[in-house]
Amino acid sequence: PPPFTGVWMGDSKLCAIGVHCGNHITSHGLALNCCTDLSWFEHIVPCGLEGKGVTSLSRELGQHVPVSHVLEPFLDSFQEVFDCTLVSAEDPG
């Protein structure tokens, strides 16, 4: 929920996004919880946000959702939204 970044389901974060800048290098990324073991989050304050939780696609949909089922549709949507072509590091061209 605003003003917090990421993708939320109520008060639980489903996807974290972030940017880091340091030593003249910028890195960015995201973490989409598909079938994550959420018990680890019981030992920390996720993203430093007191009173907020973490969830996953598997928990929200009530069935196991492996990364392999999400990856291709996610990448297709990313290309469409950002009007770009993604290239794998394994592709020679």
Q: Which residues are catalytic?
A: 47
Range of the domain at 23: 7-82
Q: Is residue 61 part of a domain?
A: yes
Q: Is residue 78 part of a domain?
A: yes
Q: Is residue 62 part of a domain?
A: yes
Render each residue's pLDDT in the chain as its tens digit; 93 residues. Answer: 567 889 999 999 999 998 899 999 999 899 999 999 999 988 988 888 888 999 999 999 999 999 999 999 999 999 999 999 998 887 665
- In the chain, the number of structural domains is 1
Q: Is residue 20 part of a domain?
A: yes
Q: Is residue 23 part of a domain?
A: yes
Residue 93: the pLDDT is 57
55 burial class (0-12, 13-18, 19+ CB within 10 angstroms)?
A: buried
Whole-prediction pTM value?
0.80
Q: Is residue 73 part of a domain?
A: yes
Q: Is residue 2 part of a domain?
A: no
Cα(42)–Cα(54) distance, integer angstroms: 9
Residue 91: the pLDDT is 64
